[in-house]
Structure 1
Amino acid sequence: MSDLSRNTPPQFFVEPGAVSASRVYLSGDSLKHATSQRLRPGELFRVVVETGEPAEVIEAEVIEVTRRRLAGRICNTYPAEKPPYALHLYPAILKGDKFDLVVRGATELGVTSITPVIAARTIPRLDENKLAIRRARWQKLARAAAEQSSRPFIPEIRQPMRFTDLLAGVTAGLPTGVPGENPRTVSGTRPHVAGVPVLAVEKREITKSVAEAVGPAREVSMFIGPEGGFDSGEVELAFEKGLQPVTLGPYILKAETASLAACAIVIDHILHGPAVKM
């Protein structure tokens, strides 16, 4: 019996050359993923062209599987649905492979972009070459996580930046940017931080919730510190620049947990809170 009972057919990202008028082909990493899914002739799968604009989801039926490729017959196409929000995550780089968890989890939750942050207490001190290697690795992890979670969009892993340099791109006290907009430079050098800028802080006197800080906004930039948190100078500068301090709850969270908790809270608030009430 053909297994067409999958609730959600597996999804893959492909290059434009992998799609013809009536066929789609998987190879390389996508073929490995399909093989791990044990796709067989007659089963359904979906593909998204990575560089497609506007993005389209293609539904196809497996017609052939070999060691070199998987071939599918295109059954249907439809526009990829964009989320009604933009969440830009700015997590500090963490020790070991903890940042991998942040990238995978944040991608599955639905972030728009991830900018690795170098803070005063960031422990791994990486030169530009090592940062470039890790960034490429993180982008690959984001791609795999988007496939696994059936997201039609892969979050961009942006150039790692120092926290103080990022704060130079915040307009004090004012939400900035257009939802879904890519970051741009201000005066040629300063990065532009879009949306409502929010900073997670582990201080008992901070009682403002994420929902209170975000309000009806649909675009948010969330900053999460490293192990040990941001230092006092960074926190003071962030407050001066208008970042809104928020609490993620009464308990002390690991840095990687804080990133994922913040993403889940922001997205749930926008999708189910005041932001969607017109």
Structure 2
Amino acid sequence: MQRYFIDPGQFGDETVSISGEDARHISKVMRSKPKDKLIVSDGASREALVEIVEILPQQVSARIVEQLEGSGEPRVHVTIAQSLPKGDKMEIIIQKCTEIGAASFLPFLSERTVVQYDQKKEEKRTARWRKIAKEAAEQAHRSKIPAVVPPVSWKSLLAELPEHDLVCVCYEKEHGLQLRDVLKPFAEKMQSQNHGGAPRVLIAIGPEGGFTEHEIGQLEAAGAVSVGLGRRILRTETAGMAALTCIMYESGEMGER
């Protein structure tokens, strides 16, 4: 069943109003008709099964059939901190990691970042990233849209690390400690401490050329743990997806335990 995110103000007591691109998608792409059913969410606290009442060119009105309890969010809050990659790789990372279960994205600049940072273009690019996250969240039946912020500096990334319960840096030269070695004891620790709220994990991924040894040292000094992802070298756009999948599996998100 098709799912759409709407602003909280579009929710009424008994009806909802869907406008803009979503209304056009319902009428022109899906060719929906009155009495067809949809799922709508405000991305926070309300989610409902609704039945279309009226379809206009710029607005769709529907009545609430049933209030739903959102169940599409993981039990662990994972932030993908990604050094800006070349081309459209960031779009792929956001799309696929949203489907897998990432809660937020933190693009950043590092020593080997190749992309030329243009602040004038950032607003437009960030808006596109957020649109991709929204569409991927709808497709994956998420209850919330992952947060996507504009690229931050290296200094800002380091300042963000203490806000998380676990920070892992995926480093291709790490041949000792592996991600699995860190995730199992972390999951056990969170369970034994009866952690209030979703545990917060940050996964840091370097650019195409990887992190420098100096950067790894700074990350570890700020509380991060350097981990490997096995014996194979992964591309920058693959590493985050692989690490996130491991976290989802280890936390029970790939099937109830």
What TM bracket, shorter-length normalisation? 0.7 to 0.9
The residue number in structure 2 matching 1:197 is 167
Residue 39 (structure 1) aligns with: 32
Partner of 2:175: 206
> TM (normalized to structure 2)?
0.85
Q: CA deviation at 1:26?
A: 1.8
Q: How does 1:1-278 map to 2 (within 5 A)?
A: 9-35=1-27, 36-50=29-43, 52=44, 55-81=45-71, 82-170=73-161, 192-203=162-173, 205-214=174-183, 215-216=186-187, 217=190, 218-271=199-252
For residues 61 and 31 of structure 2, the distance between their equivalents in structure 1, rounded to whole angstroms, comes to: 14
Separation in structure 1 between the aligned mates of residue 144 and residue 51 of structure 2, nearest angstrom:
22
Which 4+ residue blocks in structure 1 deviate beyond 3 angstroms?
none
Say whether the 8 Å CA contact 1:91–1:116 is kept in structure 2.
yes
Runs of 5+ in structure 1 lacking a partner?
1-8, 171-191
Aligned-partner SS, 1:90: strand
CA distance in 2, matches of 1:196, 1:242: 8
Residues 206, 245 of structure 1: 8 Å contact kept: no
Structure 2: any 5+ residue segments left out of the alignment?
Answer: 191-198
Task: Determine the C-alpha separation between the residues in 2 that align with 1:23 and 1:169.
Answer: 40
TM-score (normalizing by structure 1): 0.79
Question: Shift of the alpha carbon at 1:69?
Answer: 2.3
Report percent identity of matched pairs: 28
Question: What's the secondary structure of 1:234's corresponding residue?
Answer: helix
Indicate if the aligned counterparts of 1:15 and 1:49 stay in contact, CA closer than 8 A. yes
Q: Which has the higher contact order (CA 8 A, sep 6+)?
A: 2
2:52 aligns to what SS in structure 1? Answer: strand
Superposed displacement of residue 272, structure 1: 5.7
Distance change (3 Å), C-alpha of 1:162 and 1:68:
closer
Do the aligned residues in 2 keep the contact of 1:193 with 1:221 (CA within 8 Å)?
no
Given residue 59 of structure 1, which amino acid in structure 2 is its aligned partner?
L
The 2-side partners of 1:259 and 1:249 are apart by 13
Looking at structure 2, the residues matched to 245 and 93 of structure 1 have their Cα atoms a distance apart, in angstroms, of 19
Name the SS of the counterpart of 1:154 in structure 2.
Answer: coil
Secondary structure of the residue aligned to 2:251 is helix
Query: In structure 1, what is the Cα distance between the partners aligned to 2:91 and 2:24?
Result: 21
Q: CA deviation at 1:268?
A: 1.4
Q: Residue 43 of structure 1: CA displacement?
A: 2.3
Q: Assess, with a 3 A threshold, how the Cα gap between structure 1 residues 247 and 32 changes in structure 2: closer, same or farther.
A: farther
SS in 2 for 1:166: helix
Cα pair distance change 1:169/1:18, threshold 3 Å: closer
CA separation in 1, counterparts of 2:63 and 2:145?
Answer: 24
Superposed CA offset, 1:232-260 (max 9, x none): 21122223333211122221211111111
CA contact (8 A) 1:164 1:234 kept: no
String of CA shifts for 1:187-220, please: whole Å, max 9, x gaps.
xxxxx431201000112x5242323213214321
Aligned AA for 2:178?
S
Instruction: Sort the Cα spacing of 1:241 and 1:136 in 2 relative to 1 into closer, same or farther, 3 A.
Output: same
Give the 3-state SS of the residue equivalent to 1:116 in structure 2. strand
RMSD: 2.2
Q: Distance in 1 between matches of 2:25 and 2:98?
A: 18
